[in-house]
Amino acid sequence: MAGLPRRGFLLGLGALAGAAAVAACSNEAPAGPPAPGGPPAGTTTPTTTTAAPTYTGEAALVALGAALSALAGDLLGQAAAGAGQGRYGAVPGVVTAYLSGSAAQHVAHADAWNRVLTAAGQPAVDGSPLSIEPALRARLGAALAPVDLLGLAADVTGTVAATVTAMTDRLTGPSALSLAAGVAPVAAMHGATAGFLLGRPPTAPADPTAGALGPDALTV
């Protein structure tokens, strides 16, 4: 007890005496004194959570590309997996191959967008934090046949193509601009392929940026 300040020692004695009195009334053993350096008895140690990143300026555009590509990759990947499990009836092999191949490319695009972010000292986008995500996931959950999967794929990849095409006029960083120039035509090809498999006549969009999302679609 020599190293304990007098006031702390007396307070400790008072706490032990109170605990002993409660134990005498309840026939339960008193709780021991708090560990040295630990929080006072009866308190809860607060936990620390990391706030989600907020993207601004050009980083918001890159984050939008990462989130949208990640969402497309995840939706098409789940569609391909469900098709392989017979969840949507008899799905032609070409449709399953299209879904899985497109999904892999969108996942690779999401990784590439995130590398641009981290190279600029920004945090990578975690998942697909977009305002359109719940509706698209609900649409996949309601799909019953291959035509539903292809319709979803056509719309999602069309959104990616329009969004990234619109971004090319606003990006200035060489890495981001080069990536956008590569992603946009690939996403457009995915949309055209889905339309072909649906039996739609091939047509060039009058406005390739129609339906594009802006950074305000991000929920981070």
CB of 152 within 8 A of CB of 143? yes
Res 40 pLDDT > 60: no
Res 5 pLDDT > 50: no
pLDDT at 202: 87
pLDDT at 10: 32
Res 154 pLDDT > 90: yes
For the chain, which residues make up each domain, given as ranges?
57-217
pTM of the full predicted structure?
0.77
Mapped onto helix, strand or coil, the DSSP state of residue 103 is helix
Average pLDDT score, the chain: 84
**Burial degree of 49 (CB within 10 A; 0-12, 13-18, 19+):** exposed
pLDDT at 25: 35
Res 104 pLDDT > 70: yes
* Arithmetic mean of pLDDT, 75-86: 97
Element (DSSP H or E) covering residue 18? helix 6-26
Mapped onto helix, strand or coil, the DSSP state of residue 131 is coil
pLDDT at 4: 37
* Arithmetic mean of pLDDT, 194-213: 94
* Arithmetic mean of pLDDT, 95-115: 98
Q: Smallest Cα–Cα separation from 108: which of 160, 143, 148? A: 160
7-30 tens-digit pLDDT = 333 333 334 333 333 333 334 444
% residues pLDDT > 90 (the chain): 74
Assign a CATH topology to domain 57-217.
Ferritin (1.20.1260)
pLDDT at 50: 58
Residues 6+ apart with CB under 8 A from 109: 65, 69, 73, 179, 183, 186, 187
Token pair listed for 184: 């946009």
In whole angstroms, what is the distance from residue 172 CA to residue 189 CA? 25
% residues pLDDT > 70 (the chain): 76
pLDDT at 47: 55
